[in-house]
């Protein structure tokens, strides 16, 4: 059965933070006594935590503990949603559902970058047949809802689980690419084609050879420059779909622990 699926993206707050690297401050290891950020003893880097940067369109949901599941009498005795206490860590969540214009931006990027592989874009298109109904005339929505500018700020529908995950991966890469451009580490490259587009995982693995502007300085005495690492805290953790517990907790609009 086809369903109308709207979705939001989340980013964990505790996975990574936004840091500032300072080579002039030398912290000392509490386990070995060696200095951090000292090129003379190997150059292991320690960064000072400040605050995680808020990703575009996200709001902070403060974690807590709540009763998840059925909270009323189960008159049919299904026992398929027994209430239990669940603790949810703080996380960032989209303030609104992903809109048609958000998803069309994704489709446009796929069409532009994977010009020689049109099937990549076609596989990402939402299923407009979800509007069909035996008891209603929804044909205009099937034709216009996703494309017409009158609906561009409405939630996108007809997106399956795999398409939503692919959108989250694309969004992660585009947000991190813009951060690197802003920090002066990459040039703006509107002519990316095929596999030459910026990918966060490929960059961390040293496989991205795009338009690098200024290399990042390295305290390793055996090299002068390096790629960014997640430990630097400049790039953000990946977007993903919320868990069932996060969905329910955010819907309750609770702040902090509830008892």
SS3 state of residue 171:
helix
Average the pLDDT over 215-243 and give the result: 86
Tokens representing 207? 């496989």
Residue pLDDT, tens place only, 23-76: 445 688 888 888 888 888 888 888 887 788 888 899 999 898 888 887 677 677
Sequence-distant (6+) residues with CB within 8 A of 232 are 19, 21, 45, 47, 216
pLDDT digits (tens, 9 = 90+) for 131-182: 998 888 889 999 999 999 999 999 999 999 999 999 999 999 999 999 999 9
pLDDT of residue 12: 58
Q: Residue ranges per domain, the chain?
A: 10-17+52-252
Q: What is the pLDDT of residue 9?
A: 67
Q: Give the pLDDT score at 141.
A: 93
Q: What pLDDT does 17 receive?
A: 36
- 66-125 pLDDT, tens per residue? 888 876 776 776 777 778 899 999 999 999 999 999 999 999 999 999 999 999 999 999
* pLDDT tops 70 at residue 15: no
pTM score, whole prediction: 0.82
d(CA 253, CA 75): 27
SS (H, E, C) 110-122: HHHHCCCCHHHHH
Two tokens, residue 142: 């099937």
| DSSP-assigned letter for residue 39 | G
Question: DSSP per residue over 156-203, as a string?
Answer: P-S--HHHHHHHHHHHHHHHHHHHHHHTTSB---TT--GGGS--HHHH
Q: Which of 143-152's residues contact partners 24+ apart within 8 Å by CB, and which partners? A: 145/100, 146/100, 146/103, 146/104, 147/104, 151/100, 152/99, 152/100, 152/101, 152/104
């Amino acid at each position: 059965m086809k369903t109308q699926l709207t979705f939001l993206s989340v980013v964990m707050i505790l996975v990574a933070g936004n840091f500032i690297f300072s080579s002039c401050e030398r912290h000392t290891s509490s386990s070995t006594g060696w200095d951090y950020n000292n090129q003379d003893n190997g150059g292991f880097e320690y960064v000072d935590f400040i605050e995680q940067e808020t990703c575009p369109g996200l709001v902070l949901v403060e974690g807590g503990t709540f009763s998840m599941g059925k909270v009323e009498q189960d008159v049919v005795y299904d026992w398929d949603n027994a209430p239990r206490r669940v603790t949810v860590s703080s996380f960032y969540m989209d303030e609104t559902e992903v809109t048609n214009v958000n998803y069309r931006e994704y489709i446009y990027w796929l069409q532009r970058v994977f010009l020689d592989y049109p099937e990549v874009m076609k596989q990402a298109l939402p299923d407009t047949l979800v509007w069909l109904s035996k008891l209603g005339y929804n044909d205009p929505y099937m034709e216009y809802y996703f494309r017409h500018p009158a609906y561009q700020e409405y939630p996108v529908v007809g997106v399956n689980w795999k398409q939503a995950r692919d959108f989250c991966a694309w969004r992660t890469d585009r947000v991190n690419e813009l951060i690197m451009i802003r920090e002066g580490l990459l040039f703006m490259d509107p002519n990316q084609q095929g596999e030459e587009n910026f990918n966060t995982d490929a960059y961390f693995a040293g496989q991205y050879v795009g338009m690098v502007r200024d290399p990042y300085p390295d305290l390793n005495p055996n090299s002068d420059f390096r790629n960014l690492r997640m430990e630097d805290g400049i790039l953000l953790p990946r977007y993903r779909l919320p868990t069932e517990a996060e969905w329910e907790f955010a819907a309750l609009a609770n702040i902090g622990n509830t008892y």
